[in-house]
Chains A and B, each alone.
Chain A
Amino acid sequence: MNDLVKRSAADIARDVGSKRISAREVTEAVLARVDEVDDRLGCYLTRLHELARQQAGRVDERIAAGETLPLAGVPLSIKDNMCLAGTRTTAASKILENWIAPYTATAVQRMLDAGAIPIGKSNLDEFAMGSSCENSALGVTRNPYDLQRVPGGSSGGSAAAVAAFEAAIGLGSDTGGSIREPGAFCNVVGFKPTYGRVSRYGLIAFASSLDQIGPLTRTVEDAALAYDAMSGHDPMDSTSIDRRVDPATSSLREDLKGVRVGIVKEFVTAKLGPEIDALYKRAYAELENLGAELVEVSLPTADYGLATYYLIAPAECSSNLARFDGVRYGLRVDGADVGQMYERTRAAGFGPEVKRRILIGTYALSSGYYDAYYVKAQKARTMFAQDFQRAFERCDLIAAPAASSPAFEFDSKSDPYSMYMMDYYTIPMSLAGLPALSVPCGYAGTPALPMGLQLAAPLFEEPKLLGAAHAYERATGHAAKAELAV
């Protein structure tokens, strides 16, 4: 493995920008790495070797012409629920297995405009529905630390690619934890910005009021760099916020003096077993060692998070996925009439988890149940937001587990509900639209596998969040303490 592939995005951008190395060089190294390991890891559903080389050439030209590119030459993994013009964009579903996107998502375009190199379209749980990447209909992705285990989901492909040096930045999407949880499983940083900070235009919608694009990276600094490039108002997305984005890269700090960190009373880590309990207690102590003041806060509605989320998200997705009907694009299975065509196409095209959520969502919106389920859930959502508002009166950041366990084995969670429980700690932040991330905080289990510390901040406080995470990462360096299996 060429050591170039291990370098951070910040380093690469600096060196390519100052012409110490070329974008082409970095690209070739990463492409070679992909060829070396991806048959075993399965991070990429589509490899973009040709496009990568073309883009690398262009970046080198632009640098030569004197342009400053914040992500010059940085190899990028793009979750396959984001449109990139001319590439197969599948959402890991049979219903879009051969669909070529004719346009590019805004967030992706901004990354490319900043000089990033698209390495491949990465695997995910079908339509971003899942917490292990096992729901992909088009491929299997393995955890680079243990090939018998899942990389997490739904952004498993991007998380694994970044962990395995097949990219320096991975674009993921987070609806209930789909960046943070795979980040934790794969020993990388997974960051979900405030809802509305990053455009959703071109992101294949799962739950419109929850989806957010965010980066997976090996360092917090890289996450800040990626965030600065992709964030900001987009007139093509009515839900994107027209509000100044303060650059996060200038807020990275080395200690946590004066920072109050809230520990959520209801998140009783003892429930997770003695080893994991000790791990998180140590993580919180590490924050204290950096100068943070630990404060107990309460999120009384925490236990209702799953129920709330699993009404709102399926409801919105049942409507968002209606367009996959065989009429204009994607899979079509013919029938005697349009109704039959719809039924056959969707039966063949959607996997079981997708069907499950469409059914739940349709039910929750249906006449007679709408008020009791959907409206109630939306009202509960306001209560989550209020809970956090109250908590943030007493602290600046909240610390919590990113997931309840490290990566599990394939096929070990056959009961959908036990899979849904993986999002327990991440869902409340999603419901409140808060910026949150996972940063590596150590290892647990036999074999010892990565775990992540989740940090969350009030709305729009990305600089504060990334700043603190950077301090933690620099002081503890947990991610460096393990070896990949590839």
Chain B
Amino acid sequence: MTVKTHYEAVIGIECHVELKTRSKMFCACQNEFGGEPNTKVCPVCLALPGALPVANAAAIRHMIRAGLAFGATIPAFSKFDRKNYFYPDMPKDYQISQYDMPLTLGGSVRYWLEDGTLKECKLTRIHLEEDTGKSMHGGGEDGRIAGSSFSLIDFNRAGVPLMECVGEPDLRSAQEAVGYLEALKRTFVQLGVSDVKMEEGSLRCDANVSIRPRGCTELGTKSEIKNMNSFRSVLRAVESEIERQISVLESGGRIVQETRGWDEGQGVTHSMRSKEEAHDYRYFPDPDLVPIEIDASLIEELKKTIPVLPPERFAKYREYGMDAKQATQLVDNSRLADYFDASVAAGAVPQASMNFVLGDLSRLANESGTAVQDSAVTPAALAELVALVEAKTINSKIAKELLERMWGGEGSPKAIVEKEGLGQTSDTGEIERLIDEVLGANEKAAAEYKAGKTNILGFLTGAVMKASRGKANPALVNELLRKKLE
């Protein structure tokens, strides 16, 4: 479905991402998905009278690393604030969050579309807060509050550390929205700060969607879309909302600022007007927690822990000449990408190494069940093999055979080549002798070639290669064969 050309969609994504820490944000309870309800709870996350929060230092470090990964500004001073409102799944009836001094400000997310186009979406901020418990409503028809006669609350999730990532409205299509989310996910996974599994709730997102006439710089009225459970939902929901807004405007209506819930089954968004009430959260600094002071040395220390990130890798692989699909495939397998990067660092020509890694090596890995990076083929050995091919010392057929032998543990390809004299023959005299042999044995074919059946050349070339036990330089064979047949 396409946006009518005279409208432009403007989309901003707000995500909540659960941090992968051993314990919750403000208590020692286990931070782990699943389990019997209300088993990972304690006085603190149940908000019993007298309980007090103690900040999880690992969560703060993860947050700072995430900020650094996106090029955000990390302030020297940050704090926690209370966000006050009443809801049964929020035990204290306030949420410990961050208001005006978040742990990171600004930054941007580089992402790419399916066709490989690199894009960038700015971030407003990322801050740290705690998650709520989970409610289930029963006795009604469809698990919703309306019509239910009782509710059950599981506090296992209450207090899990949460990153709230607010992106600027730089996205212009549902595809961009998904690209952005995928880049966020890749980076968080690469950093080890979150599993980012939408189906487990460790990533939840809302999309703010508005449209405006193309060329206009003012923002249109936005609606907030909630209840999207997968990246595919996001794609469909955002597209559906863009469509809806266009048709509202086209039929002379006005967009109302509201929250709309995505209905996966019906493929439409519904207004959630009944929940709408302007909340005054009465934010104030949490007096139970001390402010966070971040000095330059901590930032330096954390910077060192940041690996090569997916967008950087993707861009580099594209420069090497990989297509978008290949580059994405490799980026998403970070250990394999590390292997590839190591082979390039050992001197391998990227394009050539890539062909082996994504081709023969991956095939061997699938067949054997051993990952490429765990095999006997070290990145250095691969680099050696690639160098031999590039120098035309061996041809690609020999290279393939060598690779199998290296996989089997035979070690350095250079050593094997020298020992067994597998070096490619580029000796013109020798090749001409072989060509004469082959032509002599295949007069019929030779004649057919001269009569115009030019694709017989392949057969003849193959025969010469065979006669040379694969060692002849195939390009040279081809060239000399042509000459002879003229």
Of B46, B151, B284, B290, the residue contacting A328 (CB under 8 A) is: B46
A322 near B86: Cβ-Cβ < 8 Å: yes
- B73-87 CB mask vs A (1 if < 8 Å, else 0) is 000000000101010
Asked whether any CB of chain A lies closer than 8 Å to the CB of B52, the reply is yes
Contact A366 B88 (CB under 8 A): no
Do residues B47 and A342 form an inter-chain contact, with CB atoms below 8 A? no
Chain B residues near A221: list those with CB within 8 A: none
- Please choose the segment from B91-99, B224-232, B324-332, B436-444 that sits at the chain A interface, where 4 or more of its residues have CB less than 8 A away: B91-99
Query: B54: which A residues are within 8 A, CB to CB?
Result: 235-238
Query: In the complex, what distance in Å separates the CA atom of A338 from the CA atom of B115?
Result: 50
Closest to B288 in A: A208
**Does B282 contact A362, Cβ atoms closer than 8 Å?**
yes
Segment touching B, from A97-105, A283-291, A302-310, A468-476? A97-105
| Per-position 1/0 for A58-95, Cβ under 8 A of B | 00000000000000000000000111000001010000
CB distance from B146 to the nearest CB of A (A): 10
Q: B282–A367 contact, CB under 8 A?
A: yes
| A177 within 8 A of partner (CB) | no
Which of A179-187, A197-205, A224-232 is found at the contact surface with chain B?
A197-205
B91 pairs with A370, CB closer than 8 A: no
B91 is contacted by which of A105, A236, A316, A328 (Cβ under 8 Å)? A328
- Give A370 to B284 CA distance when docked, in angstroms: 9
Is A350 an interface residue, CB under 8 A from the partner?
no
Q: Interface digits, B37-57 against A, CB 8 Å rule (1 contact, 0 not)?
A: 000000100111111111100
B-contact bits for A114-157, CB 8 A (1 contact / 0 none) = 00000000000000000000000000000000000000000000
Q: Which of B271-324 contact A (CB under 8 A)?
A: 280, 282-284, 287-290
How far in angstroms is the closest Cβ of chain B from A368? 9
Asked if A325 and B290 sit within 8 Å, CB to CB, the answer is: no
CA distance A366 to B279 in the complex (A): 10
B342 to chain A, nearest CB (A): 43
A365 → B minimal CB distance (Å):
4
Bound together, the chains give a CA A370 to CA B99 distance in angstroms of: 14
Which residues on the B side are within 8 Å of A237 (C-beta)?
52, 54
Known: A102-B48, A201-B51, A238-B288. A319 touches B86 (CB 8 A): no
Shortest beta-carbon distance, A36 to chain B, in Å? Answer: 32
Q: Report the interface size class on chain A.
A: 35 or more
Q: Judging by beta carbons under 8 Å apart, are B55 and A204 in contact?
A: no
* Cβ–Cβ < 8 Å partners of B43 in chain A: 102-103
- State whether the Cβ of B371 lies closer than 8 Å to any Cβ in chain A: no
Q: B82 and A319: CB pair below 8 A?
A: yes
Interface size class of B (residues with CB under 8 A): 20 to 34
A310-336 vs B, CB cutoff 8 Å, 1 = contact: the mask equals 000001100100111101110000000
Give which listed residue, B52, B82, B282, B284, contacts A238 with CB less than 8 A.
Answer: B52
* B49 lies within 8 A of A83 (CB): yes
B153 at interface (Cβ–Cβ under 8 A)?
yes
With both beta carbons as reference points, the residue of chain A lying nearest to B92 in the complex is identified as A323
Query: With an 8 A cutoff between CB atoms, is A455 at the interface?
Result: no
Cβ–Cβ < 8 Å partners of B86 in chain A: 322, 325, 342
Complex Cα distance, B91 from A328, in Å, reads 8
**Structural contact, A236 and B52, CB atoms closer than 8 A:** yes
Q: Considering the chains assembled together, what is the distance between the CA atoms of A82 and B137 in angstroms? A: 35
B residues less than 8 Å from A367 (CB atoms)? 280, 282
**Cα–Cα, bound, A236→B93 (Å):** 21
Contact yes or no, A89 B49, CB < 8 A: yes
| Shortest Cβ gap from B213 to chain A (Å) | 34
Once bound together, how far apart are the Cα atoms of A89 and B48, in whole Å?
11
A202 contacts across to B, CB distance below 8 A: 50-51
How distant is the Cα of A362 from the Cα of B43 in the complex, in angstroms?
25
Chain B residues whose C-beta falls within 8 Å of the C-beta of A319 in the assembled complex: 82, 84, 94, 282, 284
Cα distance A268–B130 in the bound complex, in angstroms: 49
- Nearest A residue to B282 via CB reads A365
Please tell me if the beta carbons of A238 and B289 are within 8 angstroms of each other in the complex: yes
Residues of B within 8 A of A238 (CB): 52-55, 288-290
The answer to whether B284 and A365 touch across the interface, beta carbons within 8 angstroms, is yes
B50 partner residues in chain A, CB cutoff 8 A: 81-83, 89, 101, 105, 200-205
Closest Cβ–Cβ distance, residue B274 to chain A (whole Å)? 12
Residues of A within 8 A of B53 (CB): 238
Report the separation of the CA atoms of residues A89 and B92 in the bound assembly, to the nearest whole angstrom.
Answer: 18
Cβ–Cβ contact A200 & B88, under 8 A: no
Q: A375 to B284, alpha carbons, bound, how many Å?
A: 9
Residues of B close to A201: CB separation below 8 A: 50-52
Which A residues from 374 to 388 make CB contacts under 8 A with B? 374
Inter-chain CA distance A10–B302, complex, in Å, is 52
Query: Which residues of the other chain, A, contact B283 by a CB distance below 8 angstroms?
Result: 370
Chain B residue at minimum C-beta to C-beta distance from A330? B49
Given contacts A101-B49, A374-B284, 20 further A-B contacts (CB under 8 A): A89-B50, A101-B50, A202-B51, A208-B288, A236-B52, A238-B53, A238-B289, A238-B290, A239-B52, A239-B289, A316-B287, A319-B282, A322-B86, A323-B92, A324-B49, A338-B88, A365-B84, A366-B280, A367-B280, A370-B283
Instruction: Pull 13 A–B residue pairs with CB atoms less than 8 Å apart, ordered by A.
Output: A89-B50, A103-B48, A235-B54, A236-B52, A237-B54, A238-B288, A239-B288, A239-B289, A323-B92, A342-B86, A365-B84, A365-B282, A367-B280
**Which are the 6 A-B pairs with shortest beta-carbon distances?**
A322-B93, A208-B287, A365-B282, A209-B287, A204-B49, A202-B50
